[in-house]
Amino acid sequence: MSQNPATLTPAGLGQLRCLDCTIRLRAVCAYADLPSLGELERIKRYRSYASGQTIASTGEEPSVVGSLVEGVAHISTLLPDGRRQMVGLLLPSDFVGRPGRSRIDYDIVAATAVTLCTFRKADFERILAANPAIERRLLDMTLDELDAARDWMTLLGRKSARERVASLVLMIARRDAALVGADARTGQRVPLRLTRQAIADYLGLTIETVSRQFGALARDGLVVLGAQRTLELRDLPGLEAAAGDAA
């Protein structure tokens, strides 16, 4: 995808069968039948990226596409004077790359160690054309991403700094809870997994403002800040009110 070296067939995943894959039911291959899954299996190739490594960057014409299997990556755009805005968060099962378009106009950077399950773009497009079920899954995923992008636009265009930080905390808390089939709850411990700079770039704020708003939420008893970029929810209804989208 980028010209940077990416480790191929990382330890532990080299032989992973698609049917055993942790993201099998949520990734772009979720609706694939056994024959097309077999075809994907034949041509897939795992690639690993270290935290901070660039997966793809603006202006490139990536020759591979794929699914994020492990880790977290950021999609961001950069204005010429250095201002950066994150425009997407890639989590396991998310699709990376864009079939039918060559050049990309944003940067994709690994935020943690990342493993991708990749395909050569041309191969994948051929399979896509022959398997409407896979194409349909990609359409559904893209529509979900569009909804998420629009929610984020409302946050960026209309919410105060406090509302933005509260919204982000809730989003991460809910996503983490959903992974174990639960709802967010008071007392929940939430690993943010993002640096202050990443949070600021995501929320359209500065790191100082983000830091102050975390302080304010803690002072108001809505959260307790912990070490290593974690926090604990102390007042879920209060946090929801602070996020600004409850009535």
Partner DNA sequence: CGTCGTCTTGATCGTCTTCAATGTATGTGG
Partner DNA sequence: CCACATACATTGAAGACGATCAAGACGACG
Q: Do the beta carbons of residue 90 and residue 68 sit within 8 Å?
A: yes
The single residue among 35, 157, 181, 187 that binds a second copy, judged by CB under 8 A, is: 157
| E-assigned strand segments in 91-191 | 95-96, 107-110, 114-120, 189-191
Stretch that binds a second copy, among 9-17, 31-39, 66-74, 149-157 (CB under 8 A): 149-157
For residue 79, state whether it binds a second copy (rule: CB under 8 A).
yes
Interaction partner, residue 215 (DNA, a second copy, none; CB < 5-8 Å by kind): DNA
CA separation for the pair 139, 143 (Å, rounded): 6
Interaction partner, residue 189 (a second copy, DNA, none; CB < 5-8 Å by kind): none
The single residue among 49, 124, 152, 214 that binds a second copy, judged by CB under 8 A, is: 152
CA separation for the pair 225, 21 (Å, rounded): 35
Q: Return the bridge partners of 200, or none.
A: none
Q: Which two tokens stand for residue 6?
A: 């990416």
- String of contacts with DNA for each residue 151-190, x by CB under 7 A: ---------xxx----------------------------
**Which residue lies nearer to DNA by CB, 99 or 238?**
238
Find the shortest distance in angstroms from Cβ 9 to a second copy.
30
Q: Characterize 79-90 residue by residue with b for buried, 16 or more Cβ atoms within 10 angstroms of its Cβ, and e for exposed.
A: eeeeebebbbbb
Find the shortest distance in angstroms from Cβ 211 to DNA.
3
For residue 208, state whether it binds a second copy (rule: CB under 8 A).
no
CA separation for the pair 84, 28 (Å, rounded): 29
- String of contacts with DNA for each residue 90-119, x by CB under 7 A: ------------------------------
List % helix, strand, coil for the chain (3-state, nearest 5).
Answer: 40, 20, 40
Neighbours of 188 (CB within 10 A): 17
**Which residue lies nearer to DNA by CB, 13 or 216?**
216
Through-space distance between the first and last CA atoms of the chain, rounded to whole angstroms: 44
For residue 14, state whether it binds a second copy (rule: CB under 8 A).
no
For residue 197, state whether it binds DNA (rule: CB under 7 A).
yes
Q: Which two tokens stand for residue 157?
A: 């265009």
Q: Which two tokens stand for residue 89?
A: 């968060």
From the list 111, 6, 144, 12, the residue with the least C-alpha distance to 66 is 6
Find the shortest distance in angstroms from Cβ 74 to DNA.
13
Q: Which residues bind a second copy (CB under 8 A)?
A: 75, 77, 79-81, 83-85, 87-88, 98, 100-101, 105-106, 129, 132, 135-136, 138-140, 142-143, 145-147, 149-154, 156-159, 203-204, 244-247
Q: Which residues bind DNA (CB under 7 A)?
A: 160-162, 195-197, 204-212, 214-215, 225, 227-229
